[in-house]
Amino acid sequence: MMISQFRTVALIGKYNTVMPGLSVASSGEVLKGIARFLEAQGCEVVLEQQTAESTGITDYAVRDVTGIGEHCDLGLVVGGDGTMLGIGRQLARHGVPLIGINQGRLGFITDIPLDDYASTLAPMLRGEFTEDHRSLMHARVMREGVCVYDALAMNDVVVNRGATSGMVELRVEVDGHFVASQRADGLIMASPTGSTAYSLSAGGPLLHPAIPGWVLVPIAPHTLSNRPIVLADASEVAIELVAGRDASANFDMQSLASLQHGDRILVKRSQHHVRFLHPLGWSYFDTLRKKLHWNEGGA
């Protein structure tokens, strides 16, 4: 038996749906195989509650997210980036580090291929890893001075027009200073982690995770001179809905609040961050090159 630096490891699978290309039974077998591997490394395995319910696995202790945060030394997430976003926000306040195993294509934040997990994880469990901290955004929807919605986001906060309506008009302030009133299909406020998501497809720049900043990216702006802007993440940004029907605010595209005229979305840096662990030698640029299919030539 190998000796792991992590005594108790939580195994967290893809919620609600099975892994791509696998049946429920096969998904369960994948997780069981990983659990047996962890035990062989000297780890006590705990299954996250929703994972246990969706797979029917009964061989291990089960804990909810709070229990994992209080009792586990590591979270091992098997799924895609969406799965990691969901659990990362919930575990950030507990400081539990996370490792991502991606079933399918390489992810930006779940970067260990399922086929290679054993050879990659073994040294990581012995303490051979690189740690990577990602900031969170804390967003509140204020209506007549009262907070009606409160959420964390790792990727982005997005204000969108309704599916069948025209542009929205938004007033943007940074630290109480008026920046601009803009008409557009919406506005994306992304972290460095989220700069490779919706923000990128809307024409925003890539931000290295070490940059303490955010990017504001308009979606199909009425005025072409309305360009993305990078801000310090120490700022508080206010986005007010001035006009537009059926608008909404999305947080990592996993939770949503309907907006009324006059609503203000206040966004500031959360006091919590997510801890990712990567294999030794991991590089953010390697991930970009593989995921975005950049030219891999050179010395």
Would you state the pLDDT for residue 28?
87
Would you state the pLDDT for residue 75?
98
What are the pLDDT tens digits along the chain (299 aa)?
567 799 999 999 975 544 455 554 577 899 999 999 999 999 999 999 999 998 899 999 999 999 999 999 999 999 999 999 999 999 999 999 999 999 867 789 998 999 889 999 999 999 999 999 999 999 999 999 999 999 999 999 999 998 877 899 999 999 999 999 999 999 999 999 999 999 999 999 999 999 999 999 999 999 888 999 999 999 999 999 999 999 999 999 998 999 999 999 999 999 999 999 999 999 999 999 988 888 766 55
Would you state the pLDDT for residue 297?
60
Set 59, 64, 81, 246: catalytic member:
81
- Rounded Cα distance between 77 and 11, Å, is 6
pTM of the model: 0.91
φ, ψ at 48 (rounded to 5°): -65, 145
Would you state the pLDDT for residue 18?
47
Task: Give catalytic status of residue 59 as yes or no.
Answer: no
Tokens of 233: 């993440």
- Rounded Cα distance between 114 and 34, Å, is 10
Residue appearing with tokens 């099975």 = 18
The 10 Å CB-count burial string (b at 16+, else e) for 240-260 is bbeebeebbbbbbbeeebebe
- Taking alpha carbons only, the member of 119, 157, 121 closest to residue 138 is 157
115 CB contacts (<8 Å, ≥6 apart)?
none
Q: How many CB atoms lie within 10 A of CB 164?
A: 7
Contact status, residue 146 vs residue 23, Cβ threshold 8 Å: no
User: 253: which strand partners?
Assistant: none
Contact status, residue 134 vs residue 274, Cβ threshold 8 Å: yes
Round to the nearest angstrom and report the end-to-end CA distance of the chain.
41
Q: Please report the domains of the chain, with CATH numbers, ordered by start residue.
A: 8-127 (3.40.50.10330), 136-271 (2.60.200.30)
Residue appearing with tokens 């007033």 = 171
Residue 279 in 3-state DSSP? strand
